[in-house]
Structure 1
Amino acid sequence: MHDLIIVGAGIVGLAHAYAAARRGMDVLVIDRDAQANGASVRNFGFVTVTGQERGKVWRLAQRSAAIWRQIAPDAGIAIEQEGLFLVAQRPEAAAVIEAFSRTEMGEDCTLLSAAEARAHCPQLTGEVSGALLSRADVRVESRTAIPLLARWLEEAHGVRFQRGVAVNSVATGLVRLSDGSFVKGGEIVVCPGDDWASLFPREYTTAGVTRCQLQMLRLTAPGWRLPAPVMTDLSMIRYLGYSALPEAEALRLRLERECAAELGYGIHLIAVQSADGTLVVGDSHVYAATPPPFTSEAIDAAMVGQFSALFGGAPPVIERWTGTYASGPQHSFVRRPMPGVRLAVVTSGTGASTGFALAEDVISQLYE
């Protein structure tokens, strides 16, 4: 019998495994896939603190980034980039970052003039009205970081993994598997991401959860390095840390006139760089209970267009992919569907950014 059984080996499940293993607990993680394959490896690997929703979510992101920095060296995970370079293309966006810098969220950020922004990143060729530099954020390569994290939990913390088998049902102290077997645990935490049809569908319905599909691109190495992960004006009306500020309304109105197609696709530019120099660029947000599996060339072209508007062109695309994640009206939801069982789901696309801190809270509630 295990102290804790975790269903789901994405970043949220692994974060719960780490929080429990630190307490010396015997932890078993069960996942239907043979290896990491879902939302946790289909994103930027960008642990975004700056711009997260003011208050609790921002504090969760701060704590999670600190944990990433702490465990990454031990787990063999490279920190590919640090910080955020938020470029204000329009004067209205410059007003947003100036207002943001006056809040507690912007205390450790640096405002740059247009000339200073171009000096900081000489590759900028498009319209620039200013920039914000933050040191709070961290980027890892998600497709390698998640497997390395799981291996480290297994080797250094004794977490056991049972892969390639689905969970058919969960009851107090008992998990039944698709191969007909069952395992017993003192406590159970279910972290199924956007798989609401298999376990606790009613909880997802009451939480108002649907799916968000994103498209991502990898571009050929351009021969230069980004100073940090890059975001632009469209991010300022999507990330609640900026968009909730009164100054964001003028920017929103201008973008609705100038970027209607991008807003319709839910696009906001993020560009990050990998160790080999290639660029990961995205992303889009299309919502449906079951999004179609087909990529849209119009969405890819719009994302490349946003990159080109900032950097004067884009290298060739060498890789394309999609991903889906659970999306709801809140950052996350944690439910107790029955005694001894917790359902923990991040519903804002911020699992890598906030999952470690959320898991600390859930495990503390379970055992304290």
Structure 2
Amino acid sequence: MRILIVGGGVLGTLHAWQAVERGHDVVQLEREPEARGASVRNFGLVWVGGRASGAELETARRARLLWERIGERVPALGFRANGSLTVVRTDAELAVAREAAEGPEAAERGYKLLDATEVRALNPALRGDFRGALWCERDAAVEPRTAQPALRAELAKTGRYTWRPGREVRHLSATGVVDDHGERHDGDVVLFCTGARTGGLVRELAGDPPVRRVRLQMAQTEPLGEQLTTSVADGDSFRYYPAYRGAALDALAGTQPQGDVAAAHRMQLLLVQRLDGSLTVGDTHEYDEPFAFDVTEDPYAHLADVAGALLGRPLPPIRRRWAGVYAQTADPGRIVHRARVADNAFLVTGPGGRGMTCSPAIAEDTAEELDL
């Protein structure tokens, strides 16, 4: 078959990967010269530990294995099984970490509760004052800025993949699509993987998909000057991931409210070191549209304070700041919104903050569901 992928982000690219792996010819179209949305404006985290029990956790674990296999073939993906530490500084945060580490899914998730000495042995760059950390050995990372080009370069070697950037799809027909250059692209199946862009042709085909948009602010620092051996989160991360819901988290919420800035911007700290030694740091969560066109400085000051407390020294200077918007399915029981929008076309969007983590498995599920 000939598969047309509309969208050049990680979700579209992993659908292209699945299709080519299954022997199909693929043309991938992207409206920009390069993917510029949430697929490059993220941490590159393959984040298994915080996922909800059931289908979401199963999808994340399967995706983690797929990322590792792909990384073996595509070194430029920058895959590394570095795990994560959610570092805790108070009794209430420690209680949440302990409840998770002693829970029925601890082994499945790769959890282990570490004291402060064990944390520093595992990640010597953390020299601040803290009680311990929840270690998740299943977590991993890739390089979001280079992932899509690296995957495309590998796909191109097959001779069955074509990348067409700078092409906005304007029309869907029974035999394919027409772009804004008037060029026709023939195909048997069209997969719209357009992320948070659900207007234009997508709205004409699908109406208003049941997804909401989420805006975040992030930054990248100068190189740290030493290796951060794991990804790092702070205790506020427990508030934003479904895996940690329980009595201990309820007690945390009741006895340890977030500070004004963190609460106003729905913040957590995540730190991931890039291959050049710099740190990706974030993030905020904003749900009410219209979103601002600019970034706000207070969250960056908060992130620098929290990161500095864990590192035991000032966060390196920030050299890049950005905002990003991703689409999140409105149904909490679904990993992604996948729907037929025409006889030969499907919309796949809304993985939310799970996009980088789960895309390989989401694409695999699409291929199975469509019998590709």
Aligned counterpart, 1:144: 146
- Secondary structure, counterpart of 2:208 in structure 1: helix
Quick one: structure 1 residues 339 and 18, their matched pair in 2 at CA, closer, same or farther if it must change by over 3 Å?
A: same
Look up the equivalent residue of 1:201 and give its one-letter code: R
Aligned counterpart, 1:322: 323
Query: What is the TM-score normalised by the length of structure 1?
Result: 0.92
Aligned counterpart, 1:4: 3
Aligned counterpart, 1:55: 54
Check whether the contact 1:335–1:343 (CA below 8 A) recurs between aligned residues: yes
Look up the equivalent residue of 2:260 and give its one-letter code: A
Aligned counterpart, 1:355: 359
CA offset digits 1:154-179 (Å, max 9, x no partner): 22362111111101132443212111
Aligned counterpart, 2:191: 189
Look up the equivalent residue of 1:268 and give its one-letter code: Q
Deviation at residue 366 of structure 1 after TM alignment: 0.8
Check whether the contact 1:172–1:341 (CA below 8 A) recurs between aligned residues: no
Aligned counterpart, 1:340: 344
Quick one: structure 1 residues 159 and 305, their matched pair in 2 at CA, closer, same or farther if it must change by over 3 Å?
A: same
Aligned residues: 364
Deviation at residue 222 of structure 1 after TM alignment: 2.8
Aligned counterpart, 2:114: 112
CA offset digits 1:13-45 (Å, max 9, x no partner): 011111111110111111111122221111111
Unaligned runs of 5+ in 1: none
Check whether the contact 2:196–2:350 (CA below 8 A) recurs between aligned residues: no
- Secondary structure, counterpart of 1:35 in structure 2: coil
Check whether the contact 1:92–1:250 (CA below 8 A) recurs between aligned residues: yes
Look up the equivalent residue of 2:79 and give its one-letter code: I
Aligned counterpart, 1:287: 287
Deviation at residue 343 of structure 1 after TM alignment: 0.5
How far apart, in 2, do the equivalents of 1:206 and 1:320 lie? 30
Deviation at residue 241 of structure 1 after TM alignment: 1.2
Q: Report matched runs for 1:238-249 at 5 Å.
A: 238-242=240-244, 244-249=245-250
Aligned counterpart, 2:25: 26
CA offset digits 1:242-292 (Å, max 9, x no partner): 1x2232111222342x42320221211001112222111111111244422
- Secondary structure, counterpart of 2:350 in structure 1: strand
Check whether the contact 1:307–1:314 (CA below 8 A) recurs between aligned residues: yes
Task: Please provide the CA RMSD for this pair.
Answer: 2.0
Aligned counterpart, 2:200: 198
Deviation at residue 344 of structure 1 after TM alignment: 0.4
Query: What is the TM-score normalised by the length of structure 2?
Result: 0.91
Check whether the contact 1:81–1:229 (CA below 8 A) recurs between aligned residues: no
Quick one: structure 1 residues 6 and 349, their matched pair in 2 at CA, closer, same or farther if it must change by over 3 Å?
A: same
Look up the equivalent residue of 1:265 and give its one-letter code: H
- Secondary structure, counterpart of 1:149 in structure 2: helix
How far apart, in 1, do the equivalents of 2:22 and 2:196 lie? 28
Q: Report matched runs for 1:249-288 at 5 Å.
A: 249-256=250-257, 258-288=258-288
Quick one: structure 1 residues 206 and 145, their matched pair in 2 at CA, closer, same or farther if it must change by over 3 Å?
A: closer
Deviation at residue 102 of structure 1 after TM alignment: 3.0
How far apart, in 1, do the equivalents of 2:289 and 2:11 lie? 21
Aligned counterpart, 2:309: 309
Deviation at residue 116 of structure 1 after TM alignment: 2.4
Aligned counterpart, 2:14: 15
Check whether the contact 2:198–2:209 (CA below 8 A) recurs between aligned residues: no
Look up the equivalent residue of 1:324 and give its one-letter code: V
- Secondary structure, counterpart of 1:85 in structure 2: strand
2:224 is equivalent to residue 222 of structure 1:
yes
Check whether the contact 2:337–2:348 (CA below 8 A) recurs between aligned residues: yes
Deviation at residue 127 of structure 1 after TM alignment: 4.3
How far apart, in 2, do the equivalents of 1:166 and 1:11 lie? 17
Check whether the contact 1:112–1:130 (CA below 8 A) recurs between aligned residues: yes
**Mean Cα displacement is larger for which, 152-161 or 20-29?**
152-161
Check whether the contact 1:220–1:316 (CA below 8 A) recurs between aligned residues: yes
Deviation at residue 122 of structure 1 after TM alignment: 4.1
Quick one: structure 1 residues 25 and 266, their matched pair in 2 at CA, closer, same or farther if it must change by over 3 Å?
A: same
Deviation at residue 147 of structure 1 after TM alignment: 1.0
**Which of 140, 158, 161 matches 1:156?**
158
How far apart, in 2, do the equivalents of 1:8 and 1:68 lie? 20
Look up the equivalent residue of 1:278 and give its one-letter code: S
Deviation at residue 126 of structure 1 after TM alignment: 4.3
Deviation at residue 104 of structure 1 after TM alignment: 4.7
